[in-house]
Each structure stands twice: as C-alpha cells, then as structure tokens.
Amino acid sequence: MKFTDLFPFSFSIDPMAVSGVLLWALALYLAFSPLSDWVIEQLTRWFNFAERSLYISQEEFEKTRQGRESQNAFWASMFSVLPFIVLGTLIHYGVIWGLGGSWSISLGLLFAVGSGVYELGRRDSQPSDSE
C-alpha cells in the first residue's frame, strides 16, 4: 500500500519548498531562542488555564495535575514552532522572489549554521545553575 492510495485525489509536495521553509524556520528558531522560550511559556500557561476550566471540583483537578502540566508543556513546545514556520515561509518565498530559487536554500543553510553557532555561544556565556 502506497501513501497515494490513502487519498482519492492526488497532490504534489515540492521538496525544495519544504526544505527551504524548514531551514529558515530552524534558523529563526535558533536565532530567536529567547523568543521561542517565551512562546513556549505563554502557550503552557494558556493550556493550563484552559484545561483548568474543564474541571468542576478542585480535588479532581489536583489529582492528575502534574501529568497534565507535563503534557501541556510538551504540546506547547510542539506548537511553538508554528510561528517560526510561518515566518520561514514568508522569508523563503521572499528570497525566491528577490534572488531566485537556489538562493533560498543556500542562504537558509548559511543562516541556520550561523544562528546555531550564535546560540551555542550565547548559552556558553550564560552562568550555569551549578555555579
């Protein structure tokens, strides 16, 4: 059974567009990691607040609180990537429009490596918790 057998219609996915968008999203996620941490924190707070409204009694809410908060933190970290994918899409197609198709992948790769090195240096310069 092939993947195309699951759907009654056919569609095509451009692998160059997917790789370009995800390279730019990764680069932005690494370059703006304090912003991504803030987005994760806000989504976790919102998920915890929204889930609290589903419970009537305080005892029932407290019974499984730790597990639900861990699950909400997981989903918040998953959803925190979405704004960077949207920005990566805009940048990818902006570079394609301005410079051409091959430039978007090349510049996205350069920016991803550069922002990864920047993030490593930024984290190395921060004081650790054990000190």
- 41-59, pLDDT tens digit by residue? 999 999 888 887 777 777 7
Structure tokens, 128: 């650790």
Q: Kindly provide the residue ranges of all beta strands, DSSP E only, lying in 1-131, ordered along the sequence.
A: none
Residue 19 has pLDDT above 60, yes or no: yes
Confidence of residue 1 (pLDDT cuts 50, 70, 90): low
Q: State how far the Cα of 47 lies from the Cα of 19, in Å rounded to an integer.
A: 30
Query: 3-state DSSP helix/strand/coil percent for the chain, to nearest 5?
Result: 80, 0, 20
Quote the longest CA-to-CA distance of the chain: 60
Residue 13 token pair: 């996915």
What's the pLDDT score for residue 65? 75
